[in-house]
Amino acid sequence: MWNSITKKLNNAVTSDREKAIGAEPIQGLTAHIFRHNYCTMLYYSGISQKKAVELMGHSDLKMIMEVYAHLDEQKEAVRDKINNAIAL
């Protein structure tokens, strides 16, 4: 199934020239990647954590919090803010 999806995606994003040489820029797709991307899209669209838990099919917030915490850290760019605040 994933090979079929990857093939369709590659067909959509490669030029005729790339197709002629067998280029496949998209490789290694898994259900986990799609699921993580879906959760990430929920975060960036402002969906509440409670609703994200429901949509992802989890029984508690633990997994969602791990993804959201990671995204919050990226969004906040804490290291850059600290470095800018103490820059002389």
C-alpha to C-alpha distances, 22 to 5, 30, 85, nearest whole angstrom: 16, 21, 50
In this prediction, residue 88 has a pLDDT band, given cuts at 50, 70 and 90, of: low
Which pLDDT score is estimated for 7? 84
Q: Work out how many domains the chain is built from and give that number.
A: 1
Which domain does 49 fall in, by range?
2-86
Confidence at residue 54, expressed as pLDDT on a 0 to 100 scale: 92
What is the pLDDT confidence band of residue 20, given thresholds at 50, 70 and 90?
Answer: confident
pLDDT tens digits for range 38-66: 988 998 898 888 899 999 998 888 888 88
Which among 33, 15, 32 has a CA at the least distance from the CA of 24?
15
Averaged pLDDT score across all residues of the chain: 84
